[in-house]
C-alpha cells in the first residue's frame, strides 16, 4: 500500500514529484494557477526536498490553525484528570490548543518526522524477567537533541532564502503535534492516540517549524484504523477507557517516566519488567508491516540499553546512573525514579534469584524514600516470610518517611 503523494519518500523520482505537484495544485483554480500560487507551491516543494535531503523521513505542510475538535479533546482530557501529574499540560492548554496563541505571526506549520523503528522484536526484552525492558525510542541517543539539531539546520536554510520569521519546536513545547501531523498529511491519530503512518507505522518522532510565510497546505490524512482494536486490547494496564481516549494515569509510559511519586500498588504487578516506557500499543499496530528500520545512526540501540540486567541497574548510585545513561532520554527522569522502576520490575520476578533478593534488601537502606518504598514492595514480594518479618520488625518503626512506613504495613503480620 502506498502513502498519499504529499508525503514524499526520500528517493521519489522527478516524475512522481511532478505528478504530486499537479495533483495538489489542481485544487487551486484547476490548471489556471496564478503566479502567487505557483510561487507558494515551488517554495513548499523546495523546503520538502531539502528536508528529505537533510535526513527527515516525512514532511508535510499545514495552515497554522487547529480545528475546534482538537481543543475540545484536550479540554476533555484535562477535565477528566487523565493527565495525572502532568500539570504543565493544563498550564499551557490555551497555547497548546491554538498555534496562533503560541505565536500570532504563524501562517504555516512544517511538520517533520524522523523514523525510529528498530530492526528487532520490540517485545523481546519483556521475555526475560531478569532484564529490564526499555522503550525502543529511548535505547539510542536522546531524540530531542537529534531532532532539534536537524530542525534548526533546516530552519537556517529556509531563513537564508525567503523573507519572514520562523520558530522551531519539539515535543517539549506546548504544541499539539499529533493533530498537526494529521492535518499536514503525515498520518492519523490511531485509537491508541499516537500517530500512525501508512509508511512508518507507529514509529515517528515529530518536530515542527512555524513560518510567518503562508504556503499551500498538504491534504490531511484520513483515519485508517477501521474496526481494528489491537492497540486497545494489548495495553497491560487497560489505560484506554475508549478508542481514541487515553487515561495517562494508568499508562506504563506515564507511570515509569512522568509520574514522580510511588506507583499505585494495584498497577505495579501489571508493569512486569518495563523500566522505562512501554511499546505494546505501538508494536501491535498492523500498519507497522510497512515500516522499515531506521537508518539514523544516533537512534541505534546502545548495548547496555536493549535488555540490561536488573541486578546491575539496582546498584547504580547517582554518578553511575548519569554515566551509564548520558545522552539518552532515560537520564531525564533521574536516578531515583529510574531505580523505583527497576525495583518494581524486581518485585515482579516470577522466580526470583538469591542475588535479586540481596539487591532488594540492600536498597532498603537507600537515601531516597522513593527508592526505599519500592524496595520494600520488591523485597516483600520476593523474600521469604521469615526475612520479611525480620526486616519489617527492624525497620518499620524507625522509618522516618510516612510513605515508606505505609509500604511496610503491607507486609506486617495480621494482629491476632
Set of cell numbers at residue 375: 524496595
Cα(234)–Cα(360) distance, integer angstroms: 30
Give me the phi and psi of 144, to 5 degrees please.
Answer: -60, -45
Cα(34)–Cα(120) distance, integer angstroms: 50
Q: Any catalytic annotation for residue 171?
A: yes
**Total residue length of the chain:** 416
Cβ atoms of 50 and 154 closer than 8 Å: yes
- Kindly tell me the sign of the dihedral angle through the C-alpha atoms of 176, 179, 181, 183: negative
- Closest alpha carbon to 385 in 365, 413, 406: 413
Cα(24)–Cα(26) distance, integer angstroms: 6
Give me the phi and psi of 134, to 5 degrees please.
Answer: -110, 135
Catalytic residue among 57, 171, 218, 279: 171
Residues involved in catalysis: 171
Amino acid at each position: 500500500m502506498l502513502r498519499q503523494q504529499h508525503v514524499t519518500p526520500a528517493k521519489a523520482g522527478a516524475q512522481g514529484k511532478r505528478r504530486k505537484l499537479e495533483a495538489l495544485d489542481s485544487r487551486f483554480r484547476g490548471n489556471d494557477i496564478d503566479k502567487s500560487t505557483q510561487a507558494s507551491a515551488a517554495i513548499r516543494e523546495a523546503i520538502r526536498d531539502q528536508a528529505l535531503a537533510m535526513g527527515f523521513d516525512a514532511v508535510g505542510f499545514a495552515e497554522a490553525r487547529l480545528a475546534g475538535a482538537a481543543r475540545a479533546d484536550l479540554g476533555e482530557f484535562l477535565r477528566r484528570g487523565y493527565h495525572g501529574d502532568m500539570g504543565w499540560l493544563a498550564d499551557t492548554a490555551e497555547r497548546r490548543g491554538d498555534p496562533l496563541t503560541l505565536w500570532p505571526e504563524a501562517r504555516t506549520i512544517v511538520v517533520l518526522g524522523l523514523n525510529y523503528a528498530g530492526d528487532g522484536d520490540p517485545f523481546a526484552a519483556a521475555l526475560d524477567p531478569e532484564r529490564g525492558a526499555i522503550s525502543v525510542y529511548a535505547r539510542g541517543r536522546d531524540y530531542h537533541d537529534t531532532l532539534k539539531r536537524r530542525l534548526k539546520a533546516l530552519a537556517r536554510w529556509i531563513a537564508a532564502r525567503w523573507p519572514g520569521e520562523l520558530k522551531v519546536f519539539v515535543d517539549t513545547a506546548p504544541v499539539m503535534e499529533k493533530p498537526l501531523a494529521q492535518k499536514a498529511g503525515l498520518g492519523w491519530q490511531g485509537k491508541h492516540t499516537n500517530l500512525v503512518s501508512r509508511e512508518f507505522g507507529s514509529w515517528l518522532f515529530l518536530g515542527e517549524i512555524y513560518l510567518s510565510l503562508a504556503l499551500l497546505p498538504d491534504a490531511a490524512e484520513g483515519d485508517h484504523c477501521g474496526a481494528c482494536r489491537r492497540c486497545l486490547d494489548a495495553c497491560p494496564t487497560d489505560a484506554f477507557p475508549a478508542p481514541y481516549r487515553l487515561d495517562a494515569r494508568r499508562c506504563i509510559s506515564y507511570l515509569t517516566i512522568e509520574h514522580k511519586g510511588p506507583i499505585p500498588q494495584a498497577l505495579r504487578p501489571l508493569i512486569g519488567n518495563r523500566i522505562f516506557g512501554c511499546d505494546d500499543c505501538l508494536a501491535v499496530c498492523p500498519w507497522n508491516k510497512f515500516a522499515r528500520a531506521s537508518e539514523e545512526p544516533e537512534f541505534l540501540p546502545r548495548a547496555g540499553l536493549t535488555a540490561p540486567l536488573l541486578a546491575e541497574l539496582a546498584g547504580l548510585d547517582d554518578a553511575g546512573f548519569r554515566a551509564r545513561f548520558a545522552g539518552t532520554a532515560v537520564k531525564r527522569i533521574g536516578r531515583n525514579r529510574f531505580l523505583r522502576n527497576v525495583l518494581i520490575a524486581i518485585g515482579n520476578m516470577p522466580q526470583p534469584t538469591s542475588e535479586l533478593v540481596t539487591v532488594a534488601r540492600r536498597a532498603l537502606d537507600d537515601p531516597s524514600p522513593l527508592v526505599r518504598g519500592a524496595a520494600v514492595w520488591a523485597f516483600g514480594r520476593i523474600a521469604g516470610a521469615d526475612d520479611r518479618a525480620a526486616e519489617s520488625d527492624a525497620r518499620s518503626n524507625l522509618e522516618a518517611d510516612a510513605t515508606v512506613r505505609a509500604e511496610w504495613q503491607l507486609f506486617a503480620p495480621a494482629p491476632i
